[in-house]
Amino acid sequence: MLVEIGNYSLEFDDITPQIAKTLLEYNTHNRPLNLPHVKFLSKQMKQGQWQMAGDPIKVSTTGRLLDGQHRLHAIVDSNTTQRAIILYNVPDESFSVMDTGRVRQAADVLSIAGFSDTKTTAATARMLINYERSSIAATMKSQGRKEGSVVTHQDILEYMGSHDLTPYLSKASTWHKTLSIYSKAEYAFFYCILSRVSPDQSVLFLNAVSSGAKLEIDSPMYILRKKLTEYKMNKLSLSPSERFALTIKAWNLYRANKTVKTLAFNADKDEIPIPQ
């Protein structure tokens, strides 16, 4: 059934594997395929659990496939026929903002792909992506923005397809229950980047910060813990750059086996440290 809506044509159709293959032939300049997501959708289709959610497969005015490649690949992979909506005559230029303009959140996308604790997972992945893009100022911001770009849902899904964050998220949950001076995502983020320097010391450092057990008063972990706890209790705020910098400064002091009386960071004067 074809419905005309203004300049658009909306079709409700049964998409066979052959039709899916034909549509995919026009899948030019699309984002990289996330194979784990395709396999997840394919499994749902084979088990009869996949349902049309109302988000159409989109085809541009020039016949280019703009959105829906994962569903179409899953139809081919599962060798099943699925009911779907196809929206035709979508402007080609809308593709660049299609992923960031939708209401669906990154956590929803990860949930569809079969991940658990998706809000924390999405937030952790977003911070790691920004960190690896050398955008420290954006690293701990919830929107994940850096100059000229946005961390898209697709970015996060692709990152999770090639990175196993399970060990970091598991430990983060334990540390957060002990002391919530960081969010679970922040604990997981710090554990991940610090473990790249020293897997063993990263655990010892974050164990000490969260528990406070057997810490000397001039220990970098004690001073960091005290400062962040005071800010939290007094409902004061630190910028994302300050929170990151203070944590990394404490880590670097710990690694150098140094004691400290205070921890401070001036965003206008000091360079943001890197883990050593």
pLDDT in tens, 70-124: 999 999 999 999 998 898 988 876 654 555 444 457 887 687 667 889 999 999 9
Name the amino acid, one letter, at 110.
L
pTM: 0.65
Q: Where are the domains of the chain?
A: 2-101, 104-163, 164-276
Residue numbers of the chain with a pLDDT score lower than 70? 1-3, 5, 29-31, 53-54, 93-104, 109, 112-113, 135-149
- How far is Cα 86 from Cα 63, in angstroms, rounded to an integer? 12
Task: Give the pLDDT confidence score for residue 239 in this predicted structure.
Answer: 83
Task: Give the pLDDT confidence score for residue 54 in this predicted structure.
Answer: 62
Task: Give the pLDDT confidence score for residue 24 in this predicted structure.
Answer: 93
- Cβ–Cβ contacts within 10 Å for residue 109, how many? 22
Task: Give the pLDDT confidence score for residue 119 in this predicted structure.
Answer: 94
- How far is Cα 151 from Cα 158, in angstroms, rounded to an integer? 11
* φ, ψ dihedrals at 87, nearest 5°: -105, 120
67 SS3 class: strand
Question: Which class for 126: exposed (0-12), middle (13-18), buried (19 or more C-beta within 10 A)?
Answer: buried
Task: Give the pLDDT confidence score for residue 146 in this predicted structure.
Answer: 41
Task: Give the pLDDT confidence score for residue 145 in this predicted structure.
Answer: 42
